[in-house]
Amino acid sequence: MIRYYTRLAVLSLRQTPLLTGLMVGTIGVGIGVFMAALTVYYLMANNPISWKSERLYAVQLDSWDPAEPWDDERPELAPWELTWRDAMALRESDLPLRQAAMYKVSIVVQSEREGVKPFQTVARVTDGNFFALFDIPFVYGSAWDRAVDDAGQFQVVISRKMNEELFGGEDSVGRTVRIQDKPFVVAGVTETWNPVPKFYDVNNGPFDDAEEVFVPMGVGRALELYSAGNTNCWKDEEVRTYQQFLESECVWWQYWVELPDVAQRDAYQDYLDQYVSEQKTLGRFPRPLNNQLSNVAEWLDVRRVVRRDNQVLVVLSFLFLGVCLFNTIGLMLTKFLGKAPHIGIRRALGASRAAVFRQQLVEVGAIGVAGGIAGLCLAWLSLAGIRKLFPGYEELAQLDLTLVGTAIAASILTTLVAGLYPVRRVCATAPARYLRLQ
């Protein structure tokens, strides 16, 4: 019967194009607005490395000013980033399964390929462990090893996209690219990897694209690469040279560790506390002991990657959807009461109340599907507008299959809920009443 009901639904909806258009349009607007807000929220709230989220920890050490906390609103928090000295010291620990210190730099890249002009781009100075730590697959080659890091050898890992640009997509391992006018040997080419949000460095644009170029730890120092991200300092100290900058209390390094279980986590927490206690004896870390380890989910939460106004927007858009559905109830009531004589005829000819109910629900479902499609089109247009108007939202304002499915399901479900009252009202009336109206 479902095919029969569907045919009747299409026939019925075509009979009243204006009313059908109004119902579909109303639901479409509600779903479109809701889906646009939900899409941004959904991608903001995404955990891009959920399978490993419980094992990866961001490290925070409270090396901040004794006179005031890092965050006035949340004084319990330690700075998001570490000093160079602390990052280098933590690298000596063998407690974590994997670990990587890192910071963002701006570099100039020169290709050996003819016709490619030198260009400026952002890169990441980091440990060779960075790739295994975050499960980044390689197309060609592999990461550099610790010796390369320590020696500051000029090796580089580039993304698939950068490899296309510099080497036309060929296996470029062993070939040379000039960075900051120095020859760097390509050690590996990564598969496309662009986590949203950019959890490993939310301090410098949580929705920025991942870097396309990665260079070893020692390169930063060798080429005196300053941070192209946030650098925060509190201490009145002389910072004139790069070495002074490295030895300052300025924080600019992100630090991630992989700790497979709770025991290792606790052991590493003890290690951090012990390290800071030692540093206190040297006159550093003037604030109370406050070292924190946050796994990826906790980190995204504590960093408020999903802003409160986005949450409010989702709630408001949901309320707006409710208003649209409320209006749809009225339109459906008009539609179904107008068709009541036909329902009376069907009842007289042997349709049970349940059969008529099912038939009407299929029609409501068809309105829901059409409303969902209209809503998706509207959401797509809205998101295109957001991408155009707000730079940095390119990755956030994208519909994926999950969201498309959610939109259709939400539309059908909400329309069915809205349709229950009109359908029940029509079905509850004795058929003779409607036959008299004929």
Return d(Cα 70, Cα 75) in angstroms, integer: 7
* Binding pattern for the stretch 302-341 against other proteins, x by CB under 8 A and - elsewhere: ---------------------------------------x
Binds other proteins by CB under 8 A, chosen from 9, 12, 126, 177: 12
Binds other proteins by CB under 8 A, chosen from 52, 280, 303, 353: 353
- Residue number with CB closer to other proteins (13 or 156): 13
Cβ–Cβ < 8 Å for 23, 371: yes
**Contact flag: residue 348 with other proteins (CB under 8 A):** yes
Binds other proteins by CB under 8 A, chosen from 1, 147, 289, 323: 1
**Contact flag: residue 115 with other proteins (CB under 8 A):** no
Q: What is the length of the chain?
A: 438
- Closest CB 431 distance from other proteins, rounded Å: 5
DSSP 251-290: B-BEEEEE--SHHHHHHHHHHHHHHHHHHHHTT---SPP-
- Residue number with CB closer to other proteins (61 or 351): 351
Q: Are strands 138-141 and 119-126 parallel, antiparallel or unpaired?
A: unpaired
**Contact flag: residue 350 with other proteins (CB under 8 A):** yes
**Contact flag: residue 351 with other proteins (CB under 8 A):** yes
**Contact flag: residue 349 with other proteins (CB under 8 A):** yes
**Contact flag: residue 19 with other proteins (CB under 8 A):** no
Judged by CB under 8 A, the number of residues near other proteins is 24
* Contact partners, residue 211, CB within 8 Å, separation at least 6: 104, 121, 122, 123, 124, 159
**Given the rule CB under 8 A, which of 10-18, 70-78, 148-156, 213-221 is the region that contacts other proteins?**
10-18
For the stretch 397-405, contacts whose Cβ atoms lie closer than 8 Å and that sit 24 or more positions apart, written own/partner, are: 397/36, 397/39, 397/40, 398/39, 398/43, 399/35, 399/39, 402/42, 403/35, 403/38, 403/39, 403/42, 404/376
Residue 150, φ and ψ in degrees, nearest 5: -65, -35
H or E stretch covering 385: helix 353-389
- Residue number with CB closer to other proteins (9 or 148): 9
**Contact flag: residue 409 with other proteins (CB under 8 A):** no
- Closest CB 53 distance from other proteins, rounded Å: 53
Tokens of 427: 């079905």
**Contact flag: residue 11 with other proteins (CB under 8 A):** yes
Binds other proteins by CB under 8 A, chosen from 30, 368, 371, 431: 431
- Closest CB 358 distance from other proteins, rounded Å: 11
Binds other proteins by CB under 8 A, chosen from 31, 347, 363, 407: 347
Cβ–Cβ < 8 Å for 221, 152: yes
**Contact flag: residue 346 with other proteins (CB under 8 A):** yes
**Given the rule CB under 8 A, which of 36-44, 113-121, 348-356, 413-421 is the region that contacts other proteins?**
348-356
**Given the rule CB under 8 A, which of 32-40, 205-213, 231-239, 346-354 is the region that contacts other proteins?**
346-354
DSSP 24-74: HHHHHHHHHHHHHHHHHHHHHT--TTGGGTTTEEEEE-----SSS-S-SS-
**Given the rule CB under 8 A, which of 11-19, 136-144, 155-163, 294-302 is the region that contacts other proteins?**
11-19
**Contact flag: residue 289 with other proteins (CB under 8 A):** no
- Closest CB 393 distance from other proteins, rounded Å: 47
Cβ–Cβ < 8 Å for 149, 216: yes
SS3 state of residue 193: coil
Look-up of token digits 């802003």: 307
Binds other proteins by CB under 8 A, chosen from 355, 373, 386, 416: 355
**Given the rule CB under 8 A, which of 18-26, 48-56, 382-390, 427-435 is the region that contacts other proteins?**
427-435
* Contact partners, residue 204, CB within 8 Å, separation at least 6: 104, 228, 229, 230
Give the residue from 253, 313, 235 showing the smallest Cα distance to 125. 253
Return d(Cα 152, Cα 216) in angstroms, integer: 6
Return d(Cα 298, Cα 304) in angstroms, integer: 10
**Contact flag: residue 98 with other proteins (CB under 8 A):** no
- Closest CB 23 distance from other proteins, rounded Å: 18
* Contact partners, residue 314, CB within 8 Å, separation at least 6: 34, 37, 38, 41
Residues forming the site for other proteins (CB under 8 A): 1, 4, 11-12, 15, 341-342, 345-355, 430-432, 435-436, 438
